[in-house]
């Protein structure tokens, strides 16, 4: 027997959203977010976003003057970022 559109639009009781909170994380979504997937070995070293952010800030702050980073996104596009207080050497 084929389900009707009305049956598919109904929320099933076994989903149990009775204690859910509408819009609980909406403010995070509105701000925008960058999702980065860490390799398993790095995920053990950096278990949360705070530890990743601290490490990246320390790295960025300690870059030698005149050094720039080439960032390659998941689609293969390259961007260059200069070290703090430095013109990009590229």
Cα dihedral sign, 24-28-29-33: negative
Residue 85's nearest CA partner among 67, 71, 72, 69 is 67
State phi, psi for 80 to the nearest 5 degrees.
Answer: -115, 140
Angle at 54 between CA 51 and CA 55, to 5 degrees: 85
**Could you tell me which residue, 58 or 70, shows the higher pLDDT?**
58
Q: pLDDT of 26-55, one tens digit each? A: 887 777 777 788 899 999 999 998 999 999
For the cut 70, the answer to whether the pLDDT of residue 83 exceeds it is: no
Residue 69's nearest CA partner among 77, 22, 78 is 78
Is pTM beyond 0.85 here?
no
């Amino acid at each position: 027997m084929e389900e009707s559109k009305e049956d598919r639009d109904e929320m099933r009781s076994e989903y149990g959203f009775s204690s859910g909170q509408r819009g609980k994380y909406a403010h995070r979504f509105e701000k925008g977010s960058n999702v980065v997937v860490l390799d398993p070995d790095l995920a053990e070293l950096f278990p949360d976003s705070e530890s990743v952010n601290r490490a990246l800030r320390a790295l960025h702050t300690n870059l030698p003057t005149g050094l720039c980073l080439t960032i390659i996104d998941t689609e293969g596009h390259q961007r260059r970022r200069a070290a703090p207080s430095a013109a990009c050497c590229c």
